[in-house]
Amino acid sequence: MTTGTASTQAYEQLTRDLTVGRYAPGARLPGERDLAAQLGVSRATLRLALGRLESEGVLQRSAQRGWFVPTQVLSEPPSTLQSFTEMARARGLRPTARVMRQEVRPASMDEAAKLRIAPAAPVIEIDRLRGMDGTPVCFDVVVLPSARAAALLGADLTDASLYDVLRQTCGIEVHRSAYTLMAESADAELARLLGITAGAPVLVGDEVAYTSDGTPVLIGHNKYRGDAYRFEADLFRRA
């Protein structure tokens, strides 16, 4: 016998099987009972090994269905709302953010209309410079009605996803966003922040986010470095 605990040995054997290609990408592994018998361990022990493999992303679990080998192709990226933080993490990059402003002020006419609140009603504005692995990628302004999101004023948004904080501390669940994208040139100030030259192309996204009952809860204004960000969507043509 080699060394280590039984669960570690099962883990290592599975790792070997996977790297060798014993189980094809997308395929389902044998059931836990069979697999445990094959590896000569009990089912409980097997599950320790499987859990470890799952946390490493080498395997995916699906309740009542089985264990699957992840498909390397990130299949169809649907028009799905993915936060900057999530996107960065999905690509193995470390999302960073520097909060540059976080304060309450009266809403402008335009903001009041978009958020369906009274003009000059108090809103929270948060400006952040966001990046991946330290490189600035996006200058991000969000505006929310302070009546609904007061808790956000004290929140630390350096590391967290705004959507996550919004859900956890304010109980607000963003369901849909109306997104508008356009191309602009960076002015001197933005160029300085993003570390690009003035006049360089910038992808500008304007967002209005809604909860599932259709209430607008957030206005976003994002300016991305043109050379560091792409927007992907699936569009369907009606029959």
Partner DNA sequence: ATGGTCCTATACCAGTTAGTCCAGTACCGA
Partner DNA sequence: TCGGTACTGGACTAACTGGTATAGGACCAT
**Which residue number, 7 or 85, has a Cβ lying nearer to DNA?**
7
Q: Helix, strand or coil for residue 208? A: strand
- Tokens describing residue 164: 């996550």
Selected from 17, 32, 86, 207, the binder of DNA by CB under 7 A is: 32
Among 16, 26, 27, 33, contact with DNA (rule: CB under 7 A)? 33
Residue 73 touches its own copies, criterion: CB under 8 A: no
Q: Name which of DNA, its own copies, none residue 213 binds, using a CB cut-off of 5 to 8 Å depending on partner kind.
A: none
How far is CA 14 from its chain centroid? 30
Q: Residue from 15, 17, 23, 43 that binds DNA (CB under 7 A)?
A: 43
Using CB under 7 A, pick the residue from 53, 67, 161, 202 that binds DNA: 67
- For the CB of residue 75, give the shortest distance to DNA in the complex, in Å: 17
CA distances from 47 to 5, 7, 20, 61, 169 (A): 14, 8, 21, 11, 34
User: Residue 144 touches which of DNA, its own copies, none (CB < 5 to 8 A by kind)?
Assistant: none
* 3-state secondary structure (DSSP) of residue 79: coil
**CA distances in angstroms from 91 to 26, 129, 222, listed in the order given:** 20, 19, 20
CA separation, residue 119 to residues 4, 35, 55, 106 (Å):
67, 64, 48, 8
From CA 118, how far away is CA 122, in angstroms rounded?
9
Which residue pairs, CB below 8 angstroms and at least 24 apart, start in 65-68? 65/28, 66/28, 66/29, 66/31, 67/28, 67/29, 67/32, 68/26, 68/27, 68/28, 68/29
CB of 101 to DNA, least distance (A): 40
For 130-160, give one letter per residue: b (16+ CB within 10 A) or e. Answer: bbbeeebbbbbebbbbbebbebbeebebeeb
Residue 72 found at the interface with DNA (CB under 7 A): no
Nearest approach in angstroms of CB 163 to its own copies is 8
Does 129 help bind DNA (rule: CB under 7 A)? no
Q: At its nearest, how many Å lie between DNA and the CB of residue 141?
A: 38
Within 47-66, the residues that bind DNA by CB under 7 A are 47-48, 61-66
User: 1-20: which residues touch DNA (CB under 7 A)?
Assistant: 5-8
Q: How far is the CB of 122 from its own copies (least distance, A)?
A: 26
Of residues 174, 190, 194, 217, which one binds its own copies by CB under 8 A?
174
Read off the amino acid at residue 157.
Answer: L
Residues lying near its own copies in the complex (CB under 8 A)? 1, 5-6, 16, 19-22, 24, 27, 60-65, 68, 76-81, 163, 173-185, 199-204, 224, 226, 229-239
Positions touching DNA (CB under 7 A) are 5-8, 29-34, 40-45, 47-48, 61-67
